[in-house]
Amino acid sequence: MAGPRVEVDGSIMEGGGQILRVSTALSCLLGLPLRVQKIRAGRSTPGLRPQHLSGLEIIRDLCDGQLERAEIGSTEITFTPEKIKGGIHTADTKTAGSVCLLMQVSMPCVLFAASSSELHLKGGTNAEMAPQIDYTVMVFKPIVEKFGFKFNCDIKTRGYYPKGGGEVIVRVSPVKQLNPINLTDRGYVTKIYGRAFVAGVLPFKVAKDMAAAAVRCIRKEIRDLYVNIQPVQEPKDQAFGNGNGIIIIAETSTGCLFAGSSLGKRGVNADKVGIEAAEMLLANLRHGGTVDEYLQDQLIVFMALANGVSRIKTGPVTLHTQTAIHFAEQIAKAKFIVKKSEDEEDASKDTYIIECQGIGMTNPNL
């Protein structure tokens, strides 16, 4: 398999873990040896952190590849992929590092494995600076399955900052090819629902207060819809450590899903957490796109691999999305066009169409 190594500069654009996730996933899928240099060069703690390392290790394990110089703090790695195989694989960040980011890096790869996979992912399920597991299950999953595959995500234990200790089991069957998607018709909002949770020693009142504050905030802008946010006390045997947070989903008539979410921190009052999530949701509903700002970049790799032209309508294109596009073009040779939406109703808004001619990746094992 050894050809010339693909050289990636880990310090450009988003300059963080995302470059590593996108480039190693594509390297694994396409059988291209990879070198990533200047990893997280501009960050306060440069180089690999525990969660990045466990992401690299699961990709290595998925394909029996060779991974060199991968240790905490390392700013350069080389990776030589082999054939992607199914089976049971475990990745453990040993911290509150996000299981959702582990899923982000491994999901595209296991779709093109030789047989079904079961991924045991351990770390934080509801962590800062990453999607919460509820977002992954409630928003990412139903939308990404439009590419023509199904996966199952079983939340065994929830884990919070700073201890982590959560575990999620993801089961995926391989596919022959991915279908392109066309998400350009937003429809109108038909329902708003969510969950506000407390875990560990935090009082249930905190969950109720987050939910109530979020509902009040949404009502100011959207008066005619019932907003159903359930306060939840996470069962003791299914949560490790203490945490609180909220996720609110808006669903539209055409099946689009948008979210706002927030996590509690020590000393931040519950109302503020609820309002932050509500305001994030409302901001995502104002721009006229069909996906929220967090789903945008997560769809890019799948669009690049799909067999045909995919289109999604978004609000302002995030730096994460621009970064994913850059590396999908560099490594997979997919072609992207990003342009302002020309629909009349989007004229006054910051709305864009991201179009991709996918490479039509075919699973060699099926």
Catalytic residues: 320
- Minimal CA–CA distance to 200: which of 154, 167, 233? 233
For residue 315, give the 3-state DSSP assignment.
coil
104 is in an annotated binding site: yes
Is residue 295 marked as binding? yes
| 20 has binding-site annotation | no
Q: The tokens of 235 are what?
A: 């069962």
Check the annotation: does 237 bind a ligand: no
At CA 243, angle to CA 241 and CA 248, rounded to 5? 140
Residue 233 assigned ligand-binding role: no
Do the annotations mark residue 297 as ligand-binding?
yes
Q: Classify residue 3 as left (phi > 0), alpha (psi -120 to 50) or beta.
A: beta
Residue 1, token pair as written in the block:
């398999």
How many other β-carbons are positioned within 10 Å of the β-carbon of residue 31?
A: 17
Q: Whole-angstrom Cα distance, residue 261 to residue 180?
A: 28
Q: At what angle do helices 17-30 and 99-110 cross, to 10 degrees?
A: 20
Buried b / exposed e across 323-341, counting CB within 10 Å, b at 16+?
A: bbbbbbebbbebebeeeeb
253: number of Cβ within 10 Å = 12
Annotate 44-98 with DSSP letters as a single string: SS-S--HHHHHHHHHHHHHHT-EEES-STT-S-EEEE------EEEEEE-SSS-B
For residue 170, the cross-strand partners are: 119, 153
Query: Which residues are part of a known binding site?
Result: 104, 294-298
Annotated binding-site residue numbers for ATP? 104, 294-298
